A = this chain, B = another copy of it.
Amino acid sequence: MSATTFFTSVNEQLQFVEQRMREQAGDEQHPDLKSALEHLLSAGGKRIRPTLGLLVGNMLGAPEEKLITLGASVELLHTATLVHDDLIDGALLRRGIPTLNARWSPAATVLTGDFLFARAAKLAAETDYLPLMKLFSETLATIVNGELTQMFSARGVIDRDNYYNRIYAKTASLFEMSALAATMVATEDEELRSSMKSFGYEVGMAFQIVDDILDFIGDQSTVGKPIGSDLLNGLVTLPAIYFAEAHQYDDDILSLPDGGWKDTARVQRLVDAIRESPAISQSLEEAQNSISRALNALGIAPACPEKDALEDLAKFIVDRKI
Instruction: Determine the distance from Cα of A29 to Cα of B121 in the docked complex, in whole angstroms.
Output: 27
Supposing A84-B114, A88-B110, A152-B32 touch, asked if A134 and B144 sit within 8 A by C-beta, the answer is no
Contact B87 A151 (CB under 8 A): no
A30 at the interface (CB under 8 A from B): yes
Nearest B residue (CB) for A83: B110
Residues of B contacting A137 in the complex (Cβ-Cβ under 8 angstroms): 118, 121-122, 124-125
Instruction: Determine the distance from Cα of A115 to Cα of B150 in the docked complex, in whole angstroms.
Output: 14
Residues of B contacting A89 in the complex (Cβ-Cβ under 8 angstroms): 107
Contact A144 B114 (CB under 8 A): yes
Contact A151 B108 (CB under 8 A): yes
Give min CB distance, A26 to chain B, whole Å: 14
A245 at the interface (CB under 8 A from B): no
**Which residues in window 10-43 of A have CB below 8 A to B?**
29-30, 32-33
Instruction: Determine the distance from Cα of A110 to Cα of B144 in the docked complex, in whole angstroms.
Output: 10
Residues of B contacting A147 in the complex (Cβ-Cβ under 8 angstroms): 111, 114
* Copies of this chain in its oligomeric complex: 2
**What secondary structure prevails in chain A residues at the interface with B?**
helix
Instruction: Determine the distance from Cα of A145 to Cα of B111 in the docked complex, in whole angstroms.
Output: 9
A140 at the interface (CB under 8 A from B): yes
Give min CB distance, A70 to chain B, whole Å: 14
Contact A110 B111 (CB under 8 A): no
Give min CB distance, A68 to chain B, whole Å: 18
Nearest B residue (CB) for A142: B118
Contact among B121, B126, B145 for A121, CB-based, below 8 A: B121
Give min CB distance, A116 to chain B, whole Å: 9
Give min CB distance, A167 to chain B, whole Å: 18
Contact among B119, B141, B149 for A141, CB-based, below 8 A: B119
Supposing A87-B107, A145-B115 touch, asked if A152 and B30 sit within 8 A by C-beta, the answer is yes
Contact A140 B118 (CB under 8 A): yes
Instruction: Determine the distance from Cα of A232 to Cα of B300 in the docked complex, in whole angstroms.
Output: 64
Contact B106 A106 (CB under 8 A): yes
A62 at the interface (CB under 8 A from B): no
Instruction: Determine the distance from Cα of A141 to Cα of B115 in the docked complex, in whole angstroms.
Output: 7
Supposing A133-B130, A148-B30 touch, asked if A110 and B87 sit within 8 A by C-beta, the answer is yes
A-B contact pairs, 25 of them (CB 8 A): A30-B149, A33-B152, A84-B110, A88-B106, A88-B107, A89-B107, A108-B151, A110-B110, A111-B144, A114-B144, A115-B148, A118-B140, A118-B143, A119-B141, A121-B121, A121-B137, A121-B140, A122-B134, A122-B137, A122-B138, A125-B130, A125-B133, A125-B136, A125-B137, A128-B130
- Known pairs A87-B107, A121-B141, A122-B137 / 20 extra A-B pairs, C-beta < 8 Å: A29-B149, A30-B148, A33-B152, A87-B110, A108-B151, A110-B110, A111-B147, A111-B151, A112-B148, A114-B117, A114-B147, A115-B144, A117-B117, A119-B141, A124-B137, A125-B134, A126-B134, A128-B130, A129-B130, A130-B130
Sorted nearest first, the 8 A-B pairs with minimum C-beta distance are A121-B137, A88-B107, A118-B141, A30-B152, A118-B140, A125-B134, A122-B137, A133-B133
